[in-house]
Structure 1
Amino acid sequence: MTVTVLAIFETDFRPDHSLGKIMNERLKVAADDLRDIHLQAMEAVGQRSDDLVVYISYNPKYKMRWRIVNDVPEEVEQYVGRVCGDLGYIQWKTAVMNIFKGNE
């Protein structure tokens, strides 16, 4: 399985502001760590052509949040939820959890 974790910058601070730079860098590092360290075991799951795409961002209170944005098996969703929960990340609440489900 190919694991992709993307940092989504949706914050209200200006990127040229020093706090904005720090927060954006923190988000990039968190995305890389989630992919390369915490979700590395997912690379051995399923077929080589399978994908897991996770977005991480900040909520309005600057807490890290996550969501899976493609169609994956329930076991994968549960595993990612446990890993992200252990890291202190919250689930990114949207009207539709996996935004690409059912768009086939």
Structure 2
Amino acid sequence: MKLLQVDFEYQGALGDEMSKALVGLAGSINKEEGLIWKIWTENESDKLGGGIYLFEDEASAKSYLEMHSARLKGMGVTKIRGIIFDINLPLTKINNGPVFKGKII
């Protein structure tokens, strides 16, 4: 498994407005190859949007990051940060991290 963290400057609607405006996009993300889940992130005071994603493998995470970055650039977003992380599963399990989804380690 790989964790992908993406954030970017976002001047659009947040909160309930964002939820209503992007429901279609959220649904389409579920169809991405290798995606297990996504947590949407927003920070109104710093004008940031983004997400934390869990993918089955690094190839899926890289492919999604490339596609998502191109989509954001097409929307006029220029400062995009995407980082792929390994997960320390033993420590994450101690802290009840939501990465196990029926898996036993």
Q: TM-score normalised to the size of structure 1?
A: 0.44
Task: Please state which structure has a larger fraction of its residues in strand.
Answer: 2
Between 1 and 2, higher relative CO (CA 8 Å, sep ≥ 6) is seen in: 2
TM-score (norm 2): 0.44
